[in-house]
Amino acid sequence: MNEKIIIIENLVKRYPMGETEFTALKNINLTFDKGEFAGFVGPSGSGKTTILNILGSLDTPTEGKVVVEGEDVSNLSEKASALLRKEHIGFIFQSFNLLPVYTVFENVELSLLLLKKSAAEREKAVTAALEWVGLQDMARKKPPQLSGGESQRVAIARAIVKRPNIVLADEPTANLDAENAHIIMQTMQKLNEELKTTFIFATHDEKVMQYLKRKIHLQDGRVSKDETMETKTLQL
Amino acid sequence: MILVWKLAYKNLIRAGLKTWLNALALSFAFVLIIFYNGMIDGWNMEARQDAVEWDYGYGHLRNAGYDPADPFSIQDGHGILPEPFRKDLTPVLVWQGTIYPQGRMMPVLIKGIEVNQETVKIPSEILKTSTAGYPVLLGRKMAESAGLKKGDPVLLRWRDKNGTFDAVEATVVGIFETNVPFVDGGQLWMSLKTLQEMTGLHDEASFYIANEAYVPEPIDGWTFIDQETLLKPVTDLINAKKYGAAIMYLLLLAIGLLVIFDTQAFAIFRRQKEIGTHIAMGMTKGEVIRMFTAEGAMYSIFAIVLGGLYGTPLFIYLAKNGISFPVSGDTMGIIIAPTIYSVYSAALIVKTFLLLVISATLVSLLATRKIATMNPVEALKGKAL
Ligand SMILES: Nc1ncnc2c1ncn2[C@@H]1O[C@H](COP(=O)(O)OP(=O)(O)OP(=O)(O)O)[C@@H](O)[C@H]1O
Ligand SMILES: [Mg+2]
């Protein structure tokens, strides 16, 4: 369990703010092992989303080095970073971001289409992914017909259907009630255990934190505490 | 590449009615372009055919001195074509004269044509079988403007080659119906032999009409003008109408394209999150742009399908039954049949298809190229624009 899937060295992120600059991340040093179930926690504005976006190569570091899956994301070409996301990274968003005109099946299928998988492979993998999240009966429905909890489960299925090594989840429970938040977290916990997928969260939701095996506390753009929890399985 | 088309297709089909309304706007341009150009092409084809059948044949062999555009060339523009060169040619002698229908005076162009000819549709056989002293033929419009009917006598006066006046009473033995104004208005047709005798120009002609078998060869004092050269002014005139009216359907096309531009420009604004999601899932911006551009381009294909659906019955009707025009070609100085049958060539359809697809693609690309400068993080937040 000590294969380093992510290495962050001296990461600084600054945003231009008119005349001056705003420093959102200040000298972050962290590593993640394969199969971790970790999360960035901290108050609003502490930099959780910023760091997650950099790990997902959607944003670039201002200074420092961030190596994801052996790729230094600080100087990847647009094509290479798209490829990295396509093959190795699944995203889960606070607002689900499902495509409203596609069915549940098609939403999940899209990442496999981008990977040019055959129809048979897609069918099999999508069916399996929907089973993992318990939505096998909703394949034909469209997102507007789903509840928030169901929508987020579709998003999880979409993120994991391609069996990525890393799933980045930004406030995945923020739009869900307590019951659904737990269902979502348990689903991801199960996937983490069975598929050895690395999950990294950004959250300030206590319900999410209960499940994390590692909590990285961010405060004002710095890591203030990095704690590893004892393994426990929560039941609702 | 195929994937972005598939996704674009799905996006459009799923958007339902909105897609079809946009496509409908563009389909009007498509249908009008095909309708209008089909009509002009049909007109052009009929006009060319009429001109060939009534006057041009497979070309004219003109006496070097004769210029049909210059009335002063008639006096000297004639000659004897050596016998060995006369194969596959129908002689016509042109002369000036005056008729006096009901006491009015009307200058006419007298055309003497070989009565045994079968190269042009001038019904010269009537001249051969007629027992009247000086049988002549008139086009219907000429007959109307002179107030003459079949069987009417009319005084015809002319000068012979030496300038001496002479006159006879001619008889209108036939009135023919033609769309070609330049064998009708102001003209009087008679037997070549008779005109040669009247003028003293034995064996002479102003020009010869070639038939299909004619092989041109250089002859001193004579110039061969081939069919295509003769037809050029006819085609040019009709094509001028074509370009003149292009403004009408280009305007309609512009409106259709504007609708697409608007839809696509609004789409990338409204669908920022979707764009961000696609990028997060591993699409490059280039691929996202191609997907949106493909959507816009596909509107044109939908427009063609839609236009084809309601346009085809119309096109078939117009090709079969034609459109009637109340204006006479005579007043416009151009060949125009009373009924024009539209002609829809493969070239017209392919050209229109390409015009629509290419312009819709460009417009859509114009609307969506903004994606290239989008920050994916901002797009996901819906704040990239
Ligand atoms: N594009 C930007 N330009 C300027 N400042 C930015 C930009 N994006 C983020 N910031 C700032 O960086 C800081 C960290 O933002 P970030 O979104 O990472 O916070 P967060 O921890 O995810 O907060 P929340 O819990 O509210 O989601 C904030 O102060 C934010 O205002
Ligand atoms: Mg955040």
User: Do B69 and B184 lie in a common domain?
Assistant: yes
**Res. B330: pLDDT tops 70:** no
**Res. A233: pLDDT tops 70:** no
Angle at the Cα of A234 from the Cα atoms of A231 and A235, rounded to 5 degrees? 155
User: Do B22 and B100 lie in a common domain?
Assistant: no
| B225 in a structural domain | no
Residue range B191-209: average pLDDT?
Answer: 95
> Which domain-ending residue is among B213, B243, B277?
B213
| Shortest Cα distance, chain B CAs vs residue A231, angstroms | 31
The reply to whether residue A85 touches residue B282, judged by beta carbons under 8 angstroms, is yes
User: Do B156 and B177 lie in a common domain?
Assistant: yes
> Which domain-ending residue is among B164, B179, B213?
B213
ipTM at complex level: 0.94
Rounded to the nearest integer, the mean pLDDT of chain A is 93
Residue range B186-214: average pLDDT?
Answer: 95
Q: Which residues make Cβ contacts (< 8 Å) with residue A24, sequence separation at least 6?
A: A13, A14, A15, A47, A50, A221
User: Do B144 and B236 lie in a common domain?
Assistant: no
* Axis-axis angle for helices B285-321, B2-15 (nearest 10): 70
**Which ligand is nearest the CA of A20, by number?**
1
Q: 3-class DSSP state for residue B119?
A: coil
User: Do B94 and B206 lie in a common domain?
Assistant: yes
**Res. A214: pLDDT tops 60:** yes
Q: Which two tokens stand for residue B261?
A: 């531009």
pLDDT of residue A236: 47
| B227 in a structural domain | no
Tens digits of per-residue pLDDT, B299-319? 999 999 999 999 999 999 999
Q: Which two tokens stand for residue B199?
A: 């003028």
The reply to whether residue A78 touches residue B285, judged by beta carbons under 8 angstroms, is yes
Instruction: Give the whole-angstrom CA distance, residue B335 versus residue B43.
Output: 9
| B112 in a structural domain | yes
Q: Which two tokens stand for residue A34?
A: 């394969």
For B346, the domain range is 2-52+232-381
Determine how many CB atoms are found less than 10 A away from the CB of residue A228: 11
The reply to whether residue B380 touches residue A106, judged by beta carbons under 8 angstroms, is no
Closest C-alpha to ligand 1, atom 1: A15
CA A52 / ligand 2 centre spacing (Å): 9
Neighbouring-strand partners of residue B61: B208, B224
Residue range B347-376: average pLDDT?
Answer: 92
Residue range B253-263: average pLDDT?
Answer: 90
CA A49 / ligand 1 centre spacing (Å): 7
User: Do B286 and B182 lie in a common domain?
Assistant: no
Pure H helices in chain B: 2-15, 17-51, 125-129, 140-146, 192-199, 227-270, 272-280, 285-321, 329-332, 346-368, 376-381
CA A44 / ligand 2 centre spacing (Å): 7
User: Do B182 and B269 lie in a common domain?
Assistant: no
DSSP H or E segment with residue A6 = strand A4-17
> Which domain-ending residue is among B170, B186, B213?
B213
pLDDT of residue B114: 95
| B223 in a structural domain | no
Closest C-alpha to ligand 1, atom 16: A47
Q: Which residues make Cβ contacts (< 8 Å) with residue A219, sequence separation at least 6?
A: A42, A43, A46
* Axis-axis angle for helices A78-88, B272-280 (nearest 10): 80
**Res. B141: pLDDT tops 70:** yes
Return the sign of the alpha-carbon dihedral for residues B48, B53, B58, B59: negative
| B22 in a structural domain | yes
| Shortest Cα distance, chain B CAs vs residue A220, angstroms | 20
A53 to chain B: which residues are within 8 Å by CB?
377
* Axis-axis angle for helices B346-368, B285-321 (nearest 10): 150
**Which ligand is nearest the CA of A43, by number?**
1
CB nearest A113 (choices: B3, B274, B279): B3
CA A27 / ligand 1 centre spacing (Å): 16
Atom of ligand 1 nearest to the CA of A50: 18
pTM over 0.90, yes/no: no
pLDDT of residue A219: 95
User: Do B79 and B42 lie in a common domain?
Assistant: no
Determine how many CB atoms are found less than 10 A away from the CB of residue B247: 9
User: Do B76 and B116 lie in a common domain?
Assistant: yes
- The band of B333, judged by pLDDT with boundaries at 50, 70 and 90, is low
pLDDT of residue A1: 46
First-residue to last-residue Cα distance in chain A: 28
Mutate to test the pocket of ligand 1, among A28, A49, A170 (most ligand atoms within 8 A of CB): A49
| B347 in a structural domain | yes
CA A18 / ligand 1 centre spacing (Å): 16
The reply to whether residue B3 touches residue A97, judged by beta carbons under 8 angstroms, is no
Return the sign of the alpha-carbon dihedral for residues A72, A78, A79, A82: positive
CA A42 / ligand 2 centre spacing (Å): 10
CB pairs under 8 A between A and B: 64
User: Do B100 and B30 lie in a common domain?
Assistant: no
Closest C-alpha to ligand 1, atom 27: A44
Q: 3-class DSSP state for residue B237?
A: helix
**Res. B115: pLDDT tops 70:** yes
**Which ligand is nearest the CA of A218, by number?**
1
Q: Which two tokens stand for residue A23?
A: 């420093």
| B140 in a structural domain | yes
User: Do B158 and B255 lie in a common domain?
Assistant: no
Neighbouring-strand partners of residue B190: B112, B136
Ligand 1: does its nearest atom lie under 6 Å from the Cβ of A45? yes
| B368 in a structural domain | yes
- A142-164 burial string, b = 16+ CB within 10 Å, else e? bbeebebbbbbbbbbbbbbbbeb
Residue range A68-89: average pLDDT?
Answer: 94
**Res. B16: pLDDT tops 90:** no
Residue range A47-75: average pLDDT?
Answer: 95
The reply to whether residue B281 touches residue A91, judged by beta carbons under 8 angstroms, is yes
Mutate to test the pocket of ligand 1, among A17, A22, A52 (most ligand atoms within 8 A of CB): A22
**Res. B335: pLDDT tops 90:** no
Domains: count for chain B: 2
pLDDT of residue A231: 60
Say whether residue B372 is in contact with chain A using an 8 A CB cutoff.
no
Tens digits of per-residue pLDDT, A141-173? 999 999 999 999 999 999 999 999 999 999 999
User: Do B84 and B33 lie in a common domain?
Assistant: no
pLDDT of residue A66: 96
- The band of A228, judged by pLDDT with boundaries at 50, 70 and 90, is very high
Cβ atoms of B189 and B138 within 8 Å: the answer is yes
The reply to whether residue A85 touches residue B376, judged by beta carbons under 8 angstroms, is no
Q: Which two tokens stand for residue B89?
A: 């040619």
Burial of B135 (0-12, 13-18, 19+ CB in 10 A): buried
The reply to whether residue B10 touches residue A106, judged by beta carbons under 8 angstroms, is yes
Instruction: Give the whole-angstrom CA distance, residue B144 versus residue B148.
Output: 6
Tens digits of per-residue pLDDT, B92-109? 999 999 999 988 999 999
**Res. B345: pLDDT tops 80:** yes
Rounded to the nearest integer, the mean pLDDT of chain B is 91
DSSP H or E segment with residue B88 = none
pLDDT of residue B315: 93
Tens digits of per-residue pLDDT, B270-296? 999 999 999 999 999 999 999 999 999
Residue range B47-56: average pLDDT?
Answer: 94
pLDDT of residue B133: 85
Cβ atoms of A201 and A42 within 8 Å: the answer is no
